[in-house]
Structure 1
């Protein structure tokens, strides 16, 4: 949870105009230096349900904080990390759901594609890795409060682990499996039209 506390102090911002980042990736190459990226949208959307997809290259034997999602005017945030034990952990308003990855972790794993879906009515999430869906898991807690409408913010945070991340797309609905497999562009945040600011040791470079 220390990652969430650190991310809360980041201020949102954007470029004057959106940029097409097709074929590019944000890199956090330094294990001893903090870097972050804040991605926003010029659209106002309800995020009671959502799907967020991205690709990343992890570091072997490290903890990777992958993203945090903050729906504006909501009292809830979402955060996903990949841990030493190869588990993905999704933090939802102070609650935690764990998902085991399907791929074999190697020192040179290549690009891994991950999607996270959330249904606010049922409080059920699912994680997809390289086209394979996890068991759907739900929270038995009190109702989750998300914003009816607002401008979402996605924060990428290097923590202390070098990694790269690319092709981030966000939809305001839970995508069915065939759409997740289609690798489309999000209707809330699209990698083809990104408003972003960077902070610290962060590089934007060609995807490799």
Structure 2
């Protein structure tokens, strides 16, 4: 009986989580998402984000969305099965043709350097052809970071047709470019320095559930 209030919060409300959990996004909606709170004190000149996800969706879906006031696609990546990944940097769109999906956990990492414009995408430790962005503007420091939805306004503007449905884990953020060796061989053992899945603050919204590994 003592577990009922905790279960109710998990199912219906907003909860700050710590530890290594799997987040389950159970259904298509405009309410289910998770807010991350990275420790950012100044605009980011470099950024690496890694996410593990597991889904059988066959439509476009958003994994990670970073928005700033007045600019909503600052750092966003979507998957479009079976073989497309879309990345947005400061509103500029890039499409990557990637290996066809298999129904398994997928590790997606995106890294960007504002000084050079170099954009890099890895999926399951494979790096795809690098691109150069036009924008050289650092990102932030005021930002809204959302898992599972695509922000079309600062902290909102969600569309059910773009939401993520499935499981997500091991989301980490670094304010530098993670080297290829680390991403290829030891990403899961390296915590992000501005957001760590192990102890970073997360807020659950809607019906997203936190599960044990």
Question: What TM-score, normalized to structure 2?
Answer: 0.76
Moved over 4 A (4+): 71-76
Q: 1:171 aligns with which of 174, 181, 188?
A: 174
Query: Bigger shift: 175-184 or 28-37?
Result: 28-37
Residues 1:75 and 1:153: Cα distance change in structure 2 (over 3 Å): closer
Number of matched pairs: 185
TM-aligned CA distance change 1:47 to 1:76, over 3 Å: farther
Counterpart CA distance in 1 for 2:141 and 2:106 is 30
- Out of 132, 149, 157, the position equivalent to 1:138 is 132
Whether 2:66 is the aligned partner of 1:69: answer yes
Q: Answer whether contact 1:40 1:152 (CA < 8 A) is retained.
A: no
1:105 corresponds in structure 2 to: 101
- Unaligned 5+ runs, structure 1: 1-12
Q: CA deviation at 1:120?
A: 0.6
Going from structure 1 to structure 2, the CA distance change for 1:198 and 1:75 (only over 3 Å counts) comes to closer
Q: Please, which runs of 5 or more residues in structure 2 have no aligned partner?
A: 1-13, 150-159
Structure with the larger helix share: 2
Aligned to 2:28, what secondary structure does the other structure show?
Answer: coil
- Alignment of structure 1 residues 111-126 onto 2, 5 Å: 111-126=105-120
Residue 179 of structure 1 and its aligned partner are, at CA, apart by: 1.7
> What's the TM-score, normalizing by structure 1?
0.77
